[in-house]
Structure 1
């Protein structure tokens, strides 16, 4: 199952804090029934590629709708076809290293 790492930076808002933005993004991810992990600089989401792209678009557009004058969104996708990858397995591999 594909993994997507997303980082969204709203520019030109009234606050320097991103915590409210992260909470809104996590709420959208949960509403879509996707597994995720929030890190210090991004959020990693596991799911069907179409659903991942849809959620990324909604998260990005929400920032524009919430009065950001500019939004910088960075997305990385890990989509392995030779064997399954899971978010929990990838996180455990790193922590056991």
Structure 2
């Protein structure tokens, strides 16, 4: 599995708040059947690379379909094939490292 972090910003949609837009995009993610987790700066989605590219396009195009003339989308994909990864694995790994005496990476 791969992970996608995506932020979709409809420009010129009126106002500075985006929570209503994010809620609409989260509904599309619910319909996709993929696992995802909202964070303060975007959303992380888990799936195959093909699934992630397809859902990213769907989220990006959704704003145009809602009448926005410009959409700014930022995405990062981590496609690791040497072992299985899923949502929360990276955070859990960091938390485990924090618990080890002497951990600090460069201290």
Mark the structure with the bigger radius of gyration.
Answer: 2
Deviations 1:21-50 (A, max 9, x none): 111111111111111111111100001211
Structure 2 unaligned regions, length at least 5: 99-107
Count of equivalent residues: 97
Larger relative contact order, structure 1 or 2 (CA cutoff 8 Å, min sep 6): 1
4+ aligned runs moved over 6 Å, structure 1: none
Q: Which residue of 2 aligns with 1:39?
A: 39
Structure 2 match to 1:75: 75
Q: Is 1:30 aligned to residue 30 of structure 2?
A: yes
2:92 counterpart residue number: 92
TM-score, scaled to structure 2:
0.82
Two-structure CA RMSD over aligned residues (Å)? 1.4
Unaligned runs of 5+ in 1: none
Return the TM-score normalized by structure 1.
0.90
